[in-house]
Copies of this chain bind each other. A is one copy, B any other.
């Protein structure tokens, strides 16, 4: 009976682990300590639940971002679909390279030209039309290396972290450089984050009534680039409250973490460092997507947690 009791106790203890895919490293303990102290009414670091705002970057933080941001692959796929209406694209960059399937050359185009291609692919249509096309793409397109659907390439430890924070009355948000409308198509089902808790790069929009039916038209003009210094601005405009917890993985998240962790009281900043070439990808200072350099240099002295994917994560993807 004693032995049975021991095993039952062990099971209960394992079941109670809120972060089973995180290895038992100091990183996991730091996360749990933070949550314990801000949720304990007797702690000097207690934070009322209404103020427990946690913001997460998406690309490279909640899902992978290699070989390029997944939404960019969607843009390229859309460009190919639209090509028959645009014969001029055969000789115009980055379209010509995209149509040839030469993504490397396409990506070497000027940033403005790539942005324009993204606007061509993702605007001048109704919100419903965009949503449907994004849903169709997410339901069918496969990652070139893993063969998985893109929305299956999410990080199991981060799904657990989101759920753990919500179980402790945090409100979890995405604050991403990706398109807000694209994220909203899958964030609820994939991450448990409803549309109204997604902040992202936003296009201007207009309201019109077509044959008695109101529609929102996505316009080919940027309202907010939700990256770098645009992230605290997005947080201020959309949420109106400074987070107490922020997670990212690149220097595009630096200002979000700086803004979050410089507030008064207990604060938490976290950077996911891609160190696992075996199970995912290994990159940082020299990567063309998800470049992480300043964060590695300044993060530790700012008290930010650097998560080493290889050491700190027992599992990367749910399908492993």
Contact = CB atoms under 8 A, between A and B. Distances in A.
Number of copies: 2
B241 A196 contact: yes
Given A171-B196, A214-B262, A262-B214, A127 B207 contact: no
A208 B258 CA distance: 11
Interface in A188-245: 188, 194-198, 202, 205-209, 213-214, 216, 223-224, 229-233, 236-241
Interface string A149-190: 000000000000000000000010000000011001000100
A209 B258 contact: yes
B205 A236 contact: yes
A232 B224 CA distance: 18
Contacts of A223: 223-224, 237
A281 interface: no
Interface in A50-78: 50, 53
A260 to B, nearest CB: 9
Interface residues of A, number: 39
Interface in A4-42: none
A194 to B, nearest CB: 6
A259 interface: yes
